[in-house]
Structure 1
């Protein structure tokens, strides 16, 4: 079965506001002002919790082993802050729900492969009301490895009832591009994230400018149903 695998943060939903709020809560708890800006630092948010902490603490002069120790110490608190208000600012990208529904009506399986911890990812898609639109969800801790290792992607396809050779990955970062490369499947990167069309530098098989174009693009890359 043809399968479209979706990344979550920065691909299905703009989660940057809630991620940055969680990082800023860590900084405030340490006696600092909020160190990240919800708009200017959105790209950093999609690089993960540790990346946000690292950038923030570097802005107040920390570096080296002291910086890394604080990043590790605050990672679990960050997840706690984030989980407590996981959908305060988060919104699905325009057209995402209709595009997924169209794909499913056309016989595609759909799944999520994310480097967000599985519990948080399941909570978020449930709160956003889209859990039933995906046949499988693989998170950062579902398996012993995460993207760009191939195993999470392969599991996301196979658990959805799909065939890896007839699948593609829709994402927004170099991690997604590299995952598709190591698996040997097409990568489609969205151009409506913080980097805009600059993401084209990663040379994906296609760019997606708007979700309305996804069903036709999937058909072009994966072909008609058997």
Structure 2
């Protein structure tokens, strides 16, 4: 079966506002105040909790890997308590997903967000049940950019690695697709959009309206 696999943060949904709010909540608990900026630090936010913790602590002159490790779970806890306050789907995202499903494609999510938080967010946004498979960072022993994460996602969706592609928004997604030997489609509207062309993906996506045609061109 032809399969389209999506990254989540920065690809289907803009989660940066809620991620940064969770990071700042951690820093306030530590007595450091808000160290992350919702506009300036979007690119770091979609790289995950540890990246945000490292950036904030570096700005405070207190970067310490032990502190990053200790604050990782508290940040996730803050995030879980307010997971969809600012988060929005990118325009046309679910219309494209539904169009692909109607055309007979399998659709899936492969994200480095923990599975529990992923499922919580999909439910909050009202889009749970719209994908044939959803795998998080803790769903496999080797998350992205390891090919195994993508392969496991395609298998769970009932798809075929010979006819699939990955839609993402970061270098991690580009590396994952390359490792698995499948095309990467990178969005230009995510936080790191301006950097995507340099990664030389199979296609760049400026709007989800264009995705069905891009998919047909790449995997039939």
TM-score (norm: length of structure 1): 0.96
1:158 shift after superposition: 1.0
124-133 or 110-119, which deviates more: 124-133
Question: Is residue 71 of structure 2 the alignment partner of residue 74 of structure 1?
Answer: yes
In 2, the alpha carbon distance for the partners of 1:38 and 1:171 equals 21
Secondary structure of the equivalent of 1:131? coil
Stretches of 4+ aligned residues off by more than 3 angstroms:
none
1:118 corresponds, among 99, 115, 120, to 115
Secondary structure of the equivalent of 1:74? helix
Question: Is residue 102 of structure 2 the alignment partner of residue 99 of structure 1?
Answer: no
1:90 matched residue in structure 2? 87
* Count of residues paired in the alignment: 220
TM-score (norm: length of structure 2): 0.98
Q: Indicate conservation of the 8 Å contact 2:169/2:193, yes or no.
A: no
2:61 matched residue in structure 1? 61
Map residues 1-226 of structure 1 onto 2, 5 A cutoff: 1-63=1-63, 67-223=64-220
In 2, the alpha carbon distance for the partners of 1:213 and 1:197 equals 18
In 2, the alpha carbon distance for the partners of 1:49 and 1:198 equals 21
In 2, the alpha carbon distance for the partners of 1:182 and 1:194 equals 23
1:119 shift after superposition: 0.4
In 2, the alpha carbon distance for the partners of 1:144 and 1:40 equals 33
Secondary structure of the equivalent of 2:121? helix
Secondary structure of the equivalent of 2:31? coil
Q: Indicate conservation of the 8 Å contact 2:188/2:205, yes or no.
A: yes
In 1, the alpha carbon distance for the partners of 2:141 and 2:154 equals 17
1:144 shift after superposition: 1.3
124-133 or 86-95, which deviates more: 124-133
1:196 shift after superposition: 2.6
Q: Which runs of 5+ in 1 are unaligned?
A: none
Secondary structure of the equivalent of 1:141? helix
1:132 shift after superposition: 1.7
1:30 shift after superposition: 0.4
